[in-house]
Amino acid sequence: MSSSPTTAVPAALERVAGRCRTDPALAATCCLLAAVDGVEVAAHDLHGHGLDNPAETIASVTKSLLSSLVGHALDQGALELGTTLGELLGGRVPGPRRSATVHQLLTMTSGAAGGLLEIDAVMELPGGWVEELLAAEQLDEPGTRFRYDNGTWHLLAAGLQQAVGGDLLGWARSGPLAAVGAADVEWPVDPDGVPYGFGDARLSPRALLALGEAWRTGTGVPGWYRERAWRAWTPGGPPEHRGYGYGWWVGADAGEATRLAAGWAGQAVLVAPGPGLCVVATGCPSRWREGSTRPVLAELAEVVAASRDGRS
């Protein structure tokens, strides 16, 4: 007798959790949750953190959360996909960077020198983060190449803050954050009051599950925006080596089309729209060891397969 997704998925996630408990390379995994058709069917709190307590960081899943806000702002007419960085931030934007559009910022194709680590040096500054990031060298014509770039996401947050009247979090708490289950987000701001666009917001594992479900069902963002955000505009590149949309990675796991919000130390929101699956993993930064620890993401393909096969 074949099993249903509501039995197959919990069994698969239990096997993944078991490996996280015994494999030192997966020891940084903190929590695992899964929902099928909007119903939570399995949850594991591996280190006693708590499923309803904010994770230490959701890392770059913050980008996917910011993308949600951009979708609402676009739908309200606060800005357009073709709005340029120069129009958003005015005269302080250097000439070579002025023409990059919101679409190009969202897809990390602005052409500026970026990377995974440059933001760490910027965060040590007592102020002027936006100006420092604007000074990054322009390497390519906007729209021609994907380059992972934490800095452009912070610039996008700064521009969005201006577009919605100067108080991004105040505006977001009036509705857009609640729409994606993130009303209680803890979102740090830079010394000049700009919410971090690149990472380090805090949500609980269950709130991350709500974020994934809001996107899966289309209730969290305008439908037209989700269609664009979940499209691979480029083949992407590191660190996830999947196609890239608007703050979401676009690919496949176990032969199923998936959409992924991912961050350092093992944070992941993996959505498989076909079988109605959403899986969340959080990681413990204090347990992360560069070179010996790996994220649990690759293991989650087993859960995706179970969600599909359980329906057959």
| pLDDT tens sequence across 12-57 | 999 999 999 999 999 999 999 999 999 999 999 999 999 999 999 9
Q: Do the beta carbons of residue 220 and residue 38 sit within 8 Å?
A: no
| pLDDT tens sequence across 111-146 | 999 876 689 999 999 999 999 999 999 999 999 999
**pLDDT, position 81:** 98
Host H or E run for residue 282: strand 277-283
Residue 255: pLDDT above 60? yes
- Structure-token match 């590191």, residue found: 238
**pLDDT, position 2:** 57
Say how far apart CA 206 and CA 200 lie, in whole Å: 17
Cα dist from 165 to 78, 129, 171, 183, whole Å:
9, 20, 8, 19
Section 225-251 average pLDDT:
97
3-state secondary structure of 173: helix
Count the residues in the chain: 312
**pLDDT, position 310:** 74
Question: Helix/strand/coil (H, E, C) string of 77-134?
Answer: CCCCCCCEHHHHHHHHCCHHHCCCEHHHHHCCCCCECCECCHHHHHCCCCCCHHHHHH
Report the chain's mean pLDDT, rounded to a whole number: 96
Residue type present at position 250: V
Host H or E run for residue 32: strand 29-36
How far is CA 103 from its chain centroid? 16
Q: Taking every pair of C-alpha atoms in the chain, what is the biggest distance, in angstroms? A: 67
Q: Do the beta carbons of residue 230 and residue 199 sit within 8 Å?
A: no
Residue type present at position 295: P
Eight-class DSSP state of 300: G
**pLDDT, position 311:** 77
Question: What are the beta bridge partners of residue 40?
Answer: 35
pTM (2 d.p.): 0.96
- Structure-token match 């910011």, residue found: 66
Neighbouring CB atoms inside 10 A of 289's CB total 11
Question: What are the beta bridge partners of residue 253?
Answer: 256
Say how far apart CA 90 and CA 17 lie, in whole Å: 49
Nearest to 247 by CA among 234, 235, 229: 229
